[in-house]
């Protein structure tokens, strides 16, 4: 699989101007009331004069003046109500306007049914605490992170636009230096943050931080370092779920990517742990994921179940990643019913998404680091560059 240069041979579809489905349309209409009719001719001149004096502060009590005054008041009321109608509604805080997002929902009607979720994936690592420079070997890395930004199953990506902040990002922590490569590698990971915005990620994950300890005093946690960006899909093959990814950036794997275990195309078997069972002794969390009752019931008495995307929407969800050295072929097997209905094969859908991603990332910046951070709506100069060599 290739990235931008390998995908450039295919023409991209023209971006649609259709807004995101989750964005609300601003503005509302108000119906203005009609002005009151003329007063009764039987009304006493004194009462008319009093009304005119109150509204206009005039002493002339002629009936014709009263009608003129009421007409003026009706015009003023109508003008005021028109002004209220045109008054812009109070702006609600929202991530980004639809026009700034590359996501265009309802663009494909042939998405295969065994793709449970798709989106953009980012890979990061953190170096050891108090590290003052970039890592010089894999031993300088403390842990790895996977950031998932889901999009609609039938969506496509427009050219030269950032992914947009939908407030649905998930940050997963892998307490290992590397990713699992083969079936013998079975890493227990967990959801560190769920349903978060890019602004929260900037403050709570990407940036460096300092904290106090009783024994060692002030400790410095370096900023997160990007090592890759691409597209992903969570697929089902019946008895198993898989997390499949295809890298877009960097265009060529470097030493760092290979040492961490990244591939151009990779896949993991992914299973979710029943929170009512204790985790492995070396990977227990202080607090288990808090699932609603109906979700807990789906586990029955099983300790592990194939991961569904909704599992990853809860903080502290623990899941098992098992390496697949055979590649993505098993994870992207087409379903017979999809083939009968003429739907795209899973491999074709993932490839199409990667080509769209490669094209859109080109216009975000001149280098890979700039593209990744522009996509996450932060300034690349404030963070470590994408690292390909030690």
DSSP assignment of 235-254, as one string?
EE-SS-EEEEEEEEESSS--
Lowest mean pLDDT among 77-91, 104-118, 182-196, 365-379: 77-91
pLDDT-derived band at 280 (thresholds 50, 70, 90) equals confident
State residue 298 phi and psi, 5-degree precision: -70, -20
Tokens of 89: 């509604």
Both ends of the chain: CA-CA distance in Å?
24
Whole-angstrom distance, CA of residue 167 vs CA of residue 161: 17
pLDDT tens for 233-250 read 999 998 999 999 999 999
**Are the beta carbons of 67 and 54 closer than 8 angstroms?**
no
State residue 90 phi and psi, 5-degree precision: -65, 130
Whole-angstrom distance, CA of residue 36 vs CA of residue 31: 15
From the CB of residue 43, how many other CB atoms can be counted at a distance below 10 Å?
13
Q: Which is nearest to 6 in space by CA: 379, 364, 359, 371?
A: 359
pLDDT tens for 9-58 read 344 444 444 443 433 343 444 443 333 444 444 444 444 444 444 444 44
pTM: 0.75
Tokens of 344: 């795209």
Q: Which is nearest to 201 in space by CA: 157, 159, 145, 251?
A: 145
pLDDT tens for 62-89 read 444 444 444 444 444 444 444 444 444 4
Burial of 124 (0-12, 13-18, 19+ CB in 10 A): buried
Whole-angstrom distance, CA of residue 175 vs CA of residue 279: 14
pLDDT tens for 149-208 read 999 999 999 999 999 999 999 999 999 999 999 999 999 999 999 999 999 999 999 999
Whole-angstrom distance, CA of residue 33 vs CA of residue 186: 69
Burial of 57 (0-12, 13-18, 19+ CB in 10 A): exposed
Helix (H, G, I), strand (E, B) or coil at 174: strand
pLDDT for 138 equals: 95
From the CB of residue 93, how many other CB atoms can be counted at a distance below 10 Å?
5
Tokens of 184: 């013998």
Whole-angstrom distance, CA of residue 277 vs CA of residue 291: 13
Tokens of 247: 């890298």
pLDDT for 337 equals: 93
- How large is the angle between the packed helices 63-86 and 45-56, nearest 10 degrees? 40
pLDDT for 284 equals: 87
Lowest mean pLDDT among 79-88, 124-133, 356-365, 378-387: 79-88
Whole-angstrom distance, CA of residue 366 vs CA of residue 361: 10
């Amino acid at each position: 699989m290739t990235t931008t240069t390998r995908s450039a041979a295919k023409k991209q579809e023209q971006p649609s101007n259709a807004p995101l489905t989750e964005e609300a349309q601003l503005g509302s209409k108000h119906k203005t009331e009609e002005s009151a009719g003329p007063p009764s001719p039987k009304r006493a001149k004194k009462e008319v004069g009093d009304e005119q004096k109150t509204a206009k502060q005039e002493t002339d009590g002629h009936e014709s003046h009263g009608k003129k005054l009421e007409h003026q008041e009706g015009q003023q009321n109508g003008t005021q109500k028109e002004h209220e109608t045109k008054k812009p509604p109070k702006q609600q805080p929202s991530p980004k306007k639809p026009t700034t997002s590359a996501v265009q929902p309802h663009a494909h009607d042939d998405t295969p049914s065994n793709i449970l979720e798709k989106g953009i994936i980012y890979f990061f690592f953190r170096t050891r605490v108090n590290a003052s420079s970039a890592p010089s070997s894999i031993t300088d890395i403390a842990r790895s992170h996977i950031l998932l930004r889901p999009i609609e199953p039938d969506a496509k990506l427009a050219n030269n636009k950032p992914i947009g902040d939908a407030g649905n990002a998930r940050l997963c922590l892998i307490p290992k230096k590397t990713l699992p490569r083969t079936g013998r590698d079975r890493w227990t990971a967990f959801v560190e943050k769920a349903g978060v915005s890019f602004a929260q990620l900037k403050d709570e994950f990407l940036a460096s931080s300092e904290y106090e300890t009783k024994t060692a005093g002030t400790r410095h946690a370096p900023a997160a370092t990007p090592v890759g960006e691409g597209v992903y899909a969570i697929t089902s093959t019946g008895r198993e779920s898989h997390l499949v990814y295809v890298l877009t950036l960097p265009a060529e794997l470097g030493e760092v990517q290979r040492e961490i275990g990244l591939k151009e195309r990779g896949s993991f078997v992914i299973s979710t742990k029943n929170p009512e069972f204790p985790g492995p002794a070396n990977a227990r969390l202080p607090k288990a994921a808090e699932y609603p009752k109906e979700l807990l019931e789906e586990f029955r008495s099983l300790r592990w179940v194939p991961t569904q995307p909704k599992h990853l929407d809860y903080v502290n969800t623990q899941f098992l990643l098992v390496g697949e050295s055979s590649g993505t072929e098993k994870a992207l097997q087409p379903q017979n019913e999809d083939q009968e209905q003429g739907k795209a094969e899973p491999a074709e859908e993932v490839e199409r998404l990667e080509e769209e991603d490669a094209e859109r990332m080109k216009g975000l910046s001149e280098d890979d680091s700039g593209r990744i951070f522009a996509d996450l709506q932060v300034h690349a100069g404030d963070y470590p560059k994408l690292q390909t060599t030690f």
